[in-house]
Amino acid sequence: MRTIYVDKNIPRMLLVKAVKPVWRNVVFTPLSPAQFVDLPEPPLPGPRWVRVANRMCGICASDLAFLYVDADPKIGAAALPGNQRFYLGHEVVSTVTEIGPDVTKVAVGDRVLMHTRFQGANCLSQELETVCRQCAAGNYILCENASLGRGPRGVGGGWGDGYTAHETELFRAPADLSDEQATLVEPLAVGVHTVLRRLPEAGERILVLGSGIVGLNVIQAARALAPDCHISAIARYPQQVAMAARLGADEIISGEDGYRAAARITGATLYEGMMGSRMLLGGFDVVFDCVGAAHTLQDSLRWARAGGTVVLAGVRLEPLHVDLGPVWYQEVDLIGLNSHGMETWGGREQQTFALTIALLQQGKLAIDGLITHRFPLAEWREAIRTAQDKRSGAIKVVFDYR
């Protein structure tokens, strides 16, 4: 089983952190905590376990953050006794090749998506007798027992030949979904979950800050779920500008000063203070920060109107230095999210994956043009470099194993 993983190997992680500013390709050498290996096929560790063979898998910014050791050991998540080994690749569609005797959710030959496994264990995957309140509500990724360390863990990930998983960590892909659509369900679900964290109302003006795959999927999810809101988007690269327009942004800000653009679009007043500090009174009803850098979060808070909301969808694995002034001064709500979970939509509760698949089937979400590059696994270095450098024209880069 060929697979790519990152080990929690502190000396190597410190080495890569120290060396990467001058030698970024150190992550592809034997010095890196990330390794491309060929492991013996692992046995299924229990009667409810499943083996799958991969068909296609996307490259996600979170995979790259692990690979390039972007995490700061001082963040809260690093305090949890998580996996010793992270298998990269979670935007993956696979075929079930073997099931344990007690598996009921999937059958051999089914196409499946990785659902919760990349996010770690939960009450179901650990087969705990009493489930926590988050798992009881279907929010498995927020499991309060995630760090108990009970039971076996799967081997292998989306970047490789296949993997093993507890049956509850998988999600069946319906037959009418193409492999391309199936691979994009996870990043689309992030867009859906982001928008449902603070659903725009009719006539509200929203801003999507960043038009990478997360931002683009937020744009199309907002168009699908809140068709009567006004969507502005900040896009940097030509492929992002074109796609943001195609997916339903009403106004695209590219190259224009963000403060002036926010004032122009919302009718807010821009005030310029000392030492480059600027502030709006008035602004967007909702800002979706799909970058999550210190400067984008600071700008998002200042571009939201009093009583408005900033939804933090971009993930940054290090402490940030940010002026949180608008949170108290303007009563701006700052909320975040972790990928996907349970949604209330159309009068019923459903997994974000189920809602996302339904929206794809109804044609309300689209994937045309989002997959810009495909690579075989053997060219993983080139695939990663392409995904990282958006001047390549990349939106979503995938490994195609078929």
User: Which 162-201 residues touch Zn ion, going by CB under 5 A?
Assistant: none
Nearer to Zn ion, 135 or 360 (CB): 135
Q: What string marks each residue from 58 to 87 as x (binds Zn ion by CB under 5 A) or -?
A: --x---------------------------
CB of 353 to Zn ion, least distance (A): 13
> How many whole angstroms separate alpha carbon 103 and alpha carbon 191?
31
CB of 134 to Zn ion, least distance (A): 5
CB of 314 to Zn ion, least distance (A): 12
Nearer to Zn ion, 265 or 398 (CB): 398
CB of 305 to Zn ion, least distance (A): 31
Containing 390, the helix (H) or strand (E) segment is none
CB of 343 to Zn ion, least distance (A): 18
Distance of alpha carbon 174 from its chain centroid, rounded? Answer: 22
Nearer to Zn ion, 263 or 315 (CB): 315
Burial 48-70, CB ≥16 within 10 A → b, else e: bbbbbebbbbbbbbbbebbbbbb
Containing 133, the helix (H) or strand (E) segment is helix 133-136
Burial 292-307, CB ≥16 within 10 A → b, else e: beeebbbbbbbbbbee
**Nearest alpha-carbon partner for 184 in 70, 346, 55, 2:** 55
Query: Which residue matches tokens 């270095």?
Result: 381
CB of 217 to Zn ion, least distance (A): 10
Nearer to Zn ion, 87 or 284 (CB): 87
Total residues interacting with Zn ion, rule: CB under 5 A: 7
**Which range of residues in 14-22, 142-150, 266-274, 286-294 is near Zn ion by CB under 5 A?**
142-150
**Which range of residues in 100-108, 144-152, 237-245, 389-397 is near Zn ion by CB under 5 A?**
144-152
Nearer to Zn ion, 192 or 279 (CB): 192
Structure tokens at 196: 């449902």
**Nearest alpha-carbon partner for 123 in 91, 145, 142, 100:** 145
> How many whole angstroms separate alpha carbon 172 and alpha carbon 106?
7
Residue 111 CA neighbour count, 13 Å, CB half? 16
State yes or no: residue 342 binds Zn ion (CB under 5 A): no
Q: By CB neighbour count within 10 A (0-12 exposed, 13-18 middle, 19+ buried), where does 100 fall?
A: middle
Structure tokens at 179: 């492999």
CB of 250 to Zn ion, least distance (A): 27
DSSP-derived pairing of the beta strands 49-58 and 396-400: antiparallel
Q: Candidates 52, 93, 113, 143: give the one binding Zn ion (CB under 5 A).
A: 143
Nearer to Zn ion, 123 or 249 (CB): 123
CB of 365 to Zn ion, least distance (A): 16
Q: By CB neighbour count within 10 A (0-12 exposed, 13-18 middle, 19+ buried), where does 179 fall?
A: middle
Q: How many CB atoms lie within 10 A of CB 30?
A: 6
Q: Candidates 145, 181, 217, 239: give the one binding Zn ion (CB under 5 A).
A: 145
User: Which 86-125 residues touch Zn ion, going by CB under 5 A?
Assistant: 122-123
Nearer to Zn ion, 123 or 383 (CB): 123
**Nearest alpha-carbon partner for 327 in 308, 345, 343, 350:** 308
CB of 65 to Zn ion, least distance (A): 11
CB distance 88 to 7 below 8 Å: no
CB of 218 to Zn ion, least distance (A): 14
Q: What string marks each residue from 121 to 140 as x (binds Zn ion by CB under 5 A) or -?
A: -xx--------x--x-----
Nearer to Zn ion, 127 or 201 (CB): 127
Q: What string marks each residue from 21 to 60 as x (binds Zn ion by CB under 5 A) or -?
A: ---------------------------------------x
CB of 122 to Zn ion, least distance (A): 5
Q: What string marks each residue from 232 to 271 as x (binds Zn ion by CB under 5 A) or -?
A: ----------------------------------------
Nearer to Zn ion, 123 or 231 (CB): 123
CB distance 372 to 393 below 8 Å: yes
- List residues binding Zn ion (CB under 5 A): 60, 122-123, 132, 135, 143, 145
